Amino acid sequence: MNIIINNQDFILHQSGAVFWEKEKILLISDVHLGKVAHFRKHGIGIPNNAIFENFTRLKTVLELFNPKTIVFLGDLFHSKINNEWDLFVQWNKEHSQKIILVEGNHDIISKENYSDLNIEIYTELQIGNFLLTHHPTEKEDFFNFCGHIHPGIQLRGLGRQFLSLSCFFHKPNQLIFPAFGEFTGNSYLIPTEKDKVYAITKEGIIEVAIN
């Protein structure tokens, strides 16, 4: 789905990524690499092959958009280094794009580990009149791209039927990204008439009518 923000064209992808056409930047939030390995270490029965799902999704969006830069909007890695870090290091070696991490609350791995991979780290990043953060942030004269919340929407049908979907949650001056990573969960938000909701389905992205 294509949307326009501040006269700039953006493509929303059903993976949860956004491609900024003019800047050739791929924006991704809340990948939470290492979470599957972390869960398995603590005895939670998640199939081991789920570890590779995030890398498969990354491969898909990179091949589709071929960006010059990848910006991760925080929580790239879930916690301490585990065996998924080695997979990330190998993935990084196989790609030539500039990579930037805007720090999130889960990004506790030493900055030296990222600098060794030539990954730039910021607490927030300004590009033109856009402010890129992990936590939702309001700043005058800026449109905010952020993550952290893992937004979702519940669509209710006849009777007691309802459908829960991840979504992009578009406020007047902010776009909250869905979590890119697997097994991250959602926080279900209630939109106002000023908001727009772009729900992620298996077929693609749909704009949800706000009643």
Q: Which amino acid is at 176?
A: I
Strand ranges, E, within the chain: 2-5, 8-12, 18-20, 25-28, 69-72, 98-102, 120-122, 125-127, 130-132, 143-146, 151-156, 162-171, 174-176, 187-188, 196-200, 205-208
Residue 73 · residue 177 · CB < 8 Å? yes
Six-digit token pair at 129? 């009149």
> Per-residue confidence of the chain (211 residues) as pLDDT tens digits?
999 999 999 999 999 999 999 999 999 999 988 765 555 454 444 556 666 888 899 999 999 999 999 999 999 986 667 778 888 999 999 999 999 999 998 788 888 999 999 999 999 999 999 999 999 999 999 999 999 999 999 877 655 667 889 999 999 999 999 999 876 678 889 899 999 999 999 889 999 987 6
